[in-house]
Every structure is written in C-alpha cells, then in structure tokens.
Structure 1
Amino acid sequence: MKRAKWFYHPIFIFIFSIFALVTSLGLYIYWYVKISSGMEAAARKFNIEPGQILKAETWLVIMILSILVGIILMGIFTIFVYNQKTLQLYRLQNNFINNFTHELKTPVTSLKLYLETFVKHDISRQDQLKYIQYMLQDVTRLSDNINRILNLARIESKNYGGEFVSTDLVKLTNDFYENNKYLLKNCIVRIHNYPEKTFFYPINIPLFEMLLINLLTNAVKYNRSEKPEINIRFEKNKKNFSLFVSDNGIGLERIEIKKIFRKFYQVGNSDNMSAKGSGLGLFLVQNIARLHKAKITAQSRGSGKGSVFILTLPLKKRLITDN
C-alpha cells in the first residue's frame, strides 16, 4: 500500500489532469482534421461544395474550445499552487506548535523543579538566590514567548497602539543595548559610528525595540561560538539610512535567505542542528519594518560564516542631522 501512495499525490494528480485535458483537446483536433480531410475528398468526388459540409464556424468552435481549455488549465494550476501553499503552511504550523509547545513547557518544567526543591529541601540563602535567578530567567523566557504571540496578533490585525515619534535611532539603539545588556551578557557587542552619527525618524518606540531585541537575540540563539559577537553599524547614502546587525553565528544558505522571514519558518541546517524558537521572530521583525515604511533583508556567505541583517529606512532630509 505504501508504494501506491504516489498515485494520490497532488503533483501526480495535477500532472495527470493536465495531460488528460491536453490529450483530449489534441485528439479532438486530430479527429476533426482527419474527418474534415475525408469529407472534403468525398465532396470533391461527388462535385459538392466543401463549404456546405465543412462550416467555417467549426474552426471558431475549436478556437473557443481551446481558449476554454486554457482557462481550465489556468484554474487547475491556480488551485494546485494554492493547495501546495496551504499544505506548506499546515506543515509550518504543525512545526510551530511542536516547537512552541516545547518553548512553553521547558521553562514551566524548570520552574516546577526549582519550586519543589524549595519545598522539599532546606537550602542556604546563597543557593536560594541562585535558584531564584534561574527562575527569573525562566519567567522572562516564558513571558517573552507569550508577548511575541500577543504582539504578532495585534500587529497583524493592525490594532497595535502607540504613536510614532521622531527619534534618534542611533542613540535609541545604543541606549537599548545599555539597558538590556543582561540579555547579552555572554556576548561581545560593538556599536560602531556612535556617537558620530544621528538619524531622526518617526518610529513607534516599543515596536522598534521589539525589532531590535529579536535581531540581537537571534544572533545569540543561532550561534555556536564560545563568545558570540554582534556588530551594529549605521550607514547613510543619498536615498536611505541603514542599520546593520552582523554576527559570527551559524550563517545561512542562499536558499534559506528567502525563507527566514516567513511565518513559522525555522532554520534547519544540513548538519541537523535542531530548530530553535517559535519561528515568529523574523516574521515579526518584517512586519514591524513594514509598519515603519522600512525594509529588512539578510545576507550571508554561507553556513558557518555568520549573517548580516539590514534594516533600510527611506531618507527624509528634514529629519536628519549629521554631526
């Protein structure tokens, strides 16, 4: 039975349907041409006007039939593409549910273990503080995952509140890092061009900070180095201002660069490195960028060679001041 599964595969059904439809049209045309030739020969033999037998409208019917077949083929192809995208989204959603369940369950299990330790054992104050710190980290991880889902739902429904305020993005990025160093405490983070440059742009500050934290934590999450490195720099040309976030992480294959901003997509390397996270971080980043009329892109020289994420904002001269 397993060998016969290919017979029910959508691709096979799609190809077979097109083949059957095109073949039927070809056979009809072939049959008509052959019959017409025979009837024309018979008409000449009996001195009958061929036009009386072979109506000119017949070719019009064939042309219309061909157009209808073409429309049917386009319809079949559209349904096939839509079906494949639906199947892909279904697989991604299943993958997301499995991984996100793990993302929620792991900190909860850890918290339960620490709390049971507190109940069953009389531990020193020093150990208590150590375990409490671990618990706080788990709570933060759990909270971040829940907030990511809630924020994504609000952004997609366009119900995210907050106003856009003209802000110096260079200073904001530096201040954000200074205030969140604890999240990147085992990393080397370098911010270049600061404080030489300033760039004012209307942003929703909470959303932009969400964009930054996703880019920075991704650089750490997908990294095998003993000391992850993140470099942040700013560039401006005549048309755009760009924020570059580069790392020394696992890198990206060319085929993955186009997929990483998709909803639920998770990077899976050829060496079977397990997927991490919920698959929503970069999708969230892309949506936040669009809300700011900006564009987010990725670059990488390949597996193991790090990645660069580039946020490009359109230049607005009236908002820019260079020092």
Structure 2
Amino acid sequence: MKRQKVKLTTREKSELFGEGVITVILLLLLNLSIVILINLAVLNDPRLENSIYFLKKTITLWNGAHLWSWQRGFIIIMLIFDAIVVYWRLIRRYHQMQLRHVISELHYIADGHLDHRIPFIVKTDLQKVIDSINALVDSTVASMEEERQIEQSKDDLITNVSHDIRTPLTSIIGYLGLLKTQPNINDDDGKKYVAIAYDKALQMKSLADDLFEYTTLRSSTKTKLVLAPLHVNSMLEQVEAGFELEAEKKNIGFEVICRPHDLTIQADAKMIVRVLNNLISNALKYGHGATKISLIANKVNNDQVELRVENNGEQIPAKSLKKIFERFYRVETSRNLKTGGTGLGLAITQSIVALHGGEITCKSDAKLTSFIIRLPLNGPQAQ
C-alpha cells in the first residue's frame, strides 16, 4: 500500500483560506479595540503616562537605544500573538479536515471494500488511529478467510466421508442383494460375495475408526497422554519387526539407527508407535520403487529428539508436500481406495505429534523422501 499525505479538495482549501481571513479580521478589530482603550486610559490618567515614559527611559535595547514608542512595541507583541492564534486556528481546522477524510475512508471500507486500506500519512496521533484501523481490517479479513476455509473444510469433510462410505457400502448392498435375490447361488460364489462384502465392511470400519481418532485427537481436552520413559531404539526395532514380512514381499529392507543407542524420551508409547506405523505404512503403499526404509533417531541440542522415517522411493511432487498433512488428501488423485487408505493417516500423525508438543515436516527429492519429527526430550510440559 502506497502511503500519501491527505490531499485537500478545492472546497476545503477555500474553506481553510476563509477561516484564515475571518480570523485575521477578527484579531485586527480586537487589536484596534485594545489600542484605543489603552490610549484613552493613558490620556485620562497622567500618572499612567508618566509610568510609561519612565519605562521607556529605563528599558535599554541594543547599542544603548531606548524603547522609542510603547505603542509600536505593544503592537509587535500583539502581532506575534495574532500570528500564533491564526496558525493554531488553521492547523486545528486542517486536522479536522484530515479526520473527515479518514472517516470517509472508513465508511468506504465499511461498505464492503475490505481490500482497501487508509493510505494517509499524518504527523499527529491520528496516525496511530489509522494504523490501528488498517490492522483491524487486516485481522478481520484474515478471520473471514480462516472462517471460509473452515467452512470449506467442513464441506470437503462431508463430501469425502460420503464418497468413501458410499463406495464400499454400494458394493456391500450389491453383493448382499445378489445373495438375497438368488437363493440358488452356489457355495463358491456365495462365499466370494460374502468375503467381498466383509472386506468392504472392514474398509468402512477403518474409515469410521480413523475419523473418530482424528476428531478425538483434534480436541486436546478429550485426549490424555500417558507419558512414560520410552527407550527409542527398542521401540524402533519393535516397529520394524512388525513390518518385516510385508516389506520382504516388496523387496524392501529396513535400517534402524539410534544416536545415542540408549536414547530415552518422555512420551506416550502407544501414540508414538501409531505415528511410526502410519509413516511406514505410507512408505510401503506409496513409496513406489523403494528398496530401503530407514528409521533414524537423533538427540538434538540436549532437549529434543529427531525421528526420521525415510525411503528411497518415488519423489513426492512439490505441490503435494504443502497439502500432505491435510485430512483426506492423497498424493494419488484416485479415490478408489485400492491402497486401502482413508486419507487420514498423516493428519492423525500430525495431531499426535502436536499433542506431544512437537512438529512434523516432509521433504522429498529424487533420492530420498523424509518425514522428520521433532519432539521435546522430556515430554510436552518441557515446551
């Protein structure tokens, strides 16, 4: 926003000029009246005239000169006073005009032009008011945008949940309908239909469970951490063991590194394991072409632990990195659930990390994709 001084209109300039002229006329009349009254007083009182003559002789100016005329000295004093009064009146009226312009700008913003800001620069306390108004408008616009995003997020939530529930539900209804309308169906086909319906029901249950967990984690008042000393290396090895069979099927090897080896943190073991499970599952499902998954823990600055889950698979696009922790967001645009994901795993992961007072980020390039978690060494109360 380009700042500028308040520009007066032609009418306002005329008004300011008229104010100055009227003030000067009134002051001249006042001065004339005072001079006449003083002259009359001096003429009617010889003692006052003698006193003035005595002051003229007594007061010495530069180079030994004396005050020549008391009237001229008095007039000079009155003119200085008049100049001060005129300046005060004009500057006061000018500030009123500035305020009028600010109020006009404020009404313009209030009419719905929230992209507009008051551009004026003034040299009075009014500048603080202008800056406060602009800051208030910025805050209001930000709040409105945040509310709009929340509403959009709610709409997206309803849309995504409806889609993810409808897809398996349609399959369940279809296969159960076949079993109901075809009583003579053979056992093999019947078992096949029941198995498919059962798998689809499990998908629905998984989505419902993830939704419940996500909403619970988002409300910190409902979630209580069970903090206890957690040996990081042992935890990483146990988590790795749970995925060995699945990783072998995809020809993926594991690497576990913990520095120092006896690193211990205060955390909720169940939730931290859930975080690592989500990240490893994510790597196995979407790390196409990966041959290794690394689980790395490092002590940082004596008060934090850094956990890394890395794989050397396909790079995550840069545009997806910004949204990867949003609920229901998938790097793969298809929502056919072929990979079995609900799109809530990373959102749940981020919520768990936040509950522990930490943060999670993701970096990805052609060589490595890394999910990096920073947690306080002594639990969230250490933050």
Q: Same fold (TM over 0.5)?
A: yes
1:252 counterpart residue number: 317
Residues 260, 163 of structure 1: alpha-carbon distance in 2 compared, 3 angstrom cutoff: same
Of 152, 163, 169, the residue aligned with 1:91 is 152
1:52 counterpart residue number: 85
1:307 is aligned to 2:340: no
Q: Deviations over 1:251-289 (max 9, x none)?
A: 031x54344334x372568xxx34676554323212211
The whole-number CA distance in structure 1 between the counterparts of 2:294 and 2:202 is 25
The whole-number CA distance in structure 2 between the counterparts of 1:76 and 1:111 is 52
Where 2:162 maps in the other structure, the secondary structure is: helix
User: Residue 234 of structure 1 contacts residue 244 of structure 1 at CA under 8 Å; is this kept in 2?
Assistant: yes
1:211 counterpart residue number: 275
The whole-number CA distance in structure 1 between the counterparts of 2:290 and 2:240 is 15
1:173 is aligned to 2:153: no
Residues 92, 180 of structure 1: alpha-carbon distance in 2 compared, 3 angstrom cutoff: same
Q: What is the CA distance between 1:105 and its match in structure 2?
A: 1.9
Residues 97, 183 of structure 1: alpha-carbon distance in 2 compared, 3 angstrom cutoff: farther
Q: Deviations over 1:108-149 (max 9, x none)?
A: 223334434555321339x83x65554454333222221222
Tell me which amino acid in the other structure corresponds to 1:167.
L
Of 157, 160, 178, the residue aligned with 2:223 is 160
Where 2:256 maps in the other structure, the secondary structure is: coil
Q: What is the CA distance between 1:76 and its match in structure 2?
A: 1.6
Of 317, 323, 329, the residue aligned with 1:266 is 329
1:190 is aligned to 2:253: yes
Of 269, 276, 289, the residue aligned with 2:353 is 289
1:100 is aligned to 2:165: no
Tell me which amino acid in the other structure corresponds to 1:151.
E
Aligned length: 285
The whole-number CA distance in structure 2 between the counterparts of 1:184 and 1:144 is 22
Q: Deviations over 1:145-178 (max 9, x none)?
A: 2122212222222222462232333333333344
User: Residue 266 of structure 1 contacts residue 278 of structure 1 at CA under 8 Å; is this kept in 2?
Assistant: no
Q: What is the CA distance between 1:70 and its match in structure 2?
A: 2.7
1:115 counterpart residue number: 176
User: Residue 236 of structure 2 contacts residue 295 of structure 2 at CA under 8 Å; is this kept in 1?
Assistant: no
User: Residue 258 of structure 2 contacts residue 298 of structure 2 at CA under 8 Å; is this kept in 1?
Assistant: no
The whole-number CA distance in structure 1 between the counterparts of 2:315 and 2:12 is 63
The whole-number CA distance in structure 2 between the counterparts of 1:57 and 1:156 is 56
1:147 is aligned to 2:209: yes
Where 2:276 maps in the other structure, the secondary structure is: helix
Where 1:192 maps in the other structure, the secondary structure is: strand
Q: What is the CA distance between 1:306 and its match in structure 2?
A: 5.9
Structure 2 unpaired stretches of 5+: 29-81, 99-123, 379-383
1:241 counterpart residue number: 305
1:15 counterpart residue number: none
1:26 is aligned to 2:90: no
The whole-number CA distance in structure 2 between the counterparts of 1:279 and 1:96 is 11
2:75 counterpart residue number: none
The whole-number CA distance in structure 2 between the counterparts of 1:189 and 1:144 is 26
User: Residue 219 of structure 1 contacts residue 249 of structure 1 at CA under 8 Å; is this kept in 2?
Assistant: no
The whole-number CA distance in structure 1 between the counterparts of 2:195 and 2:368 is 31
Please, what is the CA RMSD of the aligned residues?
Answer: 4.1
Residues 162, 35 of structure 1: alpha-carbon distance in 2 compared, 3 angstrom cutoff: closer
TM-score (norm 2): 0.59
2:43 counterpart residue number: none
Larger radius of gyration: 2
User: Residue 246 of structure 1 contacts residue 306 of structure 1 at CA under 8 Å; is this kept in 2?
Assistant: yes
User: Residue 325 of structure 2 contacts residue 350 of structure 2 at CA under 8 Å; is this kept in 1?
Assistant: yes
TM-score (norm 1): 0.68
Residues 237, 267 of structure 1: alpha-carbon distance in 2 compared, 3 angstrom cutoff: same
Structure 1 unpaired stretches of 5+: 1-17, 317-323
